[in-house]
Amino acid sequence: MADTTMRVLCMGYCFPPVASPESFVTSKTMAAIPGAEVDVVAASAALFPQPPDHSLDDYVTAKFGRIERIDGMHLRILGKISRLPIRPDRYLLLTGAARARAEALNPGKYDCLVTRSQYHSVHAAARHLKRRYPDLPWVACFSDPWSGGTYERTIPVASTWSRALERKVLQEADTLIFPTSEMRDHFISQEPKTDITKKSHVVAHGFDPKLYTDDPILPSSGKVRLGIFGTFYGPRTPRHLLKAIDRLAGDKSLPKFSLETFGLGGEAFKRELAQFGDAGNHVAHGGILPHTAALNRMTACDILVISDAPTPTRSIFLTSKVVDYLGAGRPIFAITPEGPTKDLVEQLGGWAVDPRDGTSIAHLLADAIRKVGSSEATISKAVSNEYRIDRIGRHFRDILDATIASKASAT
């Protein structure tokens, strides 16, 4: 089927203009599958608490077919309630509507069904479709762990039920996709009674070079410009970074430098910054940027910064933000635990340090500023090109072809 048109039905609640990392990852990945016509069932941006991001509207219109959006005044309350004790997530309440929208598209005419999470509850709707259309190959994609996630609070009964649902999805889907080998192994370990190894694959996030400015205008400020993009929450705090900048603020041997941060939580960030008096002379919050504006702003930075939460063991995550950084072609400084993000940054030739190592954070940051200031920093194009979205899309297509062929031979 590699040389023929493939018809794909994609279900994923996060899809532009929903302003979330998963929304951006799903649109780029699904659009990059060569020779595929993709229709989408997604949730309306009105069902989420954050304002919509319309910067990918033209991108989506050009690359996708039908896009069915689930909406309704009674559903919009889902994004407004701060704590809703539903597992795996609040959007489980969309299962009936999602199934109905997919049914209206006639699933039998598609070559395969692809479900994308976050949010994991989308897979519940896919299970209903799979029962109605057992010959339709189903590929379930996971961007995050499901049960026992890092920030998940256990809810009696609901969490147990969610774990049971996860087990059924892992067993019933024809193919499973994860963004890192560590996450794949995590899910395999969660399902000891059924060996899901053979149907589990790794497809990394990717960046689309066409979404970046070809010739960015770099301001001649005479400073080394650092930029960090994303939202801080819970243990993912700017404190480690601000403490390091505070320590470096008085180092006269360093080139002049500044840090600008972009994302939600500006007031909370400013309160954190106020605890580090000297850092305030070097740091500013730039507000919230639409996704494509953020990508282009990245190209105007000299160093791009990641600040992750510490983990007690090796991390299983490759943050989608670091893949966005690859497309900007700038050196990367990462405060991140051992794991895929640290490995990638070091392979690129950047700087990576554990969040718990405060002394080394300041030392390595000074080294990064000096080397960038003297034009000594380089990045590996060969490594970054591995994450180009056309390469990721080709890999995804190969897995879809194999899944469809395997299903056909079995029937």
Residue 117 clears pLDDT 80, i.e. is over it: yes
The pLDDT score that the predictor gives to residue 371 is 96
As a whole number, mean pLDDT of residues 121-147 equals: 95
The pLDDT score that the predictor gives to residue 151 is 60
Tracing tokens 């309350």 back to the chain, one arrives at 77
In the chain, the N- to C-terminal Cα span, in Å, equals 17
The pLDDT score that the predictor gives to residue 185 is 95
What are the residues whose beta carbons fall under 8 Å from the beta carbon of 166, sequence distance 6 or more?
88, 120, 146, 147, 190
Q: Which residues pair with 283 in a beta bridge?
A: 259
More confident position, 205 or 250: 205
Tokens of 78: 């889902």
Decide if 180 contacts 317 (C-beta within 8 A). Answer: yes
In this predicted model, what pLDDT tens digit does every residue of 10-53 receive, in sequence order? 999 999 999 999 999 999 999 999 999 999 999 999 999 999 99
Tokens of 362: 């300041």
Q: What pTM value is reported for the model? A: 0.93
Tokens of 273: 């910054």
The pLDDT score that the predictor gives to residue 20 is 93
Residue 197 CA to residue 64 CA, distance in Å, equals 31
Mean pLDDT score across all residues of the chain? 91
For 344-378, letters b (16+ CB in 10 Å) and e give bbeebebbbbbbeebeebbbbbbebbbbbbeeebe
As a whole number, mean pLDDT of residues 228-242 equals: 82
In this predicted model, what pLDDT tens digit does every residue of 150-192 receive, in sequence order? 566 788 788 888 899 999 999 999 999 999 999 999 999 988 8
The CA-based diameter of the chain, rounded to the nearest angstrom, is: 72
More confident position, 98 or 281: 98
What are the residues whose beta carbons fall under 8 Å from the beta carbon of 208, sequence distance 6 or more?
28, 32, 327, 388, 389
As a whole number, mean pLDDT of residues 330-357 equals: 96
| Domains present along the chain, CATH in parentheses | 6-206+388-410 (3.40.50.2000), 210-385 (3.40.50.2000)
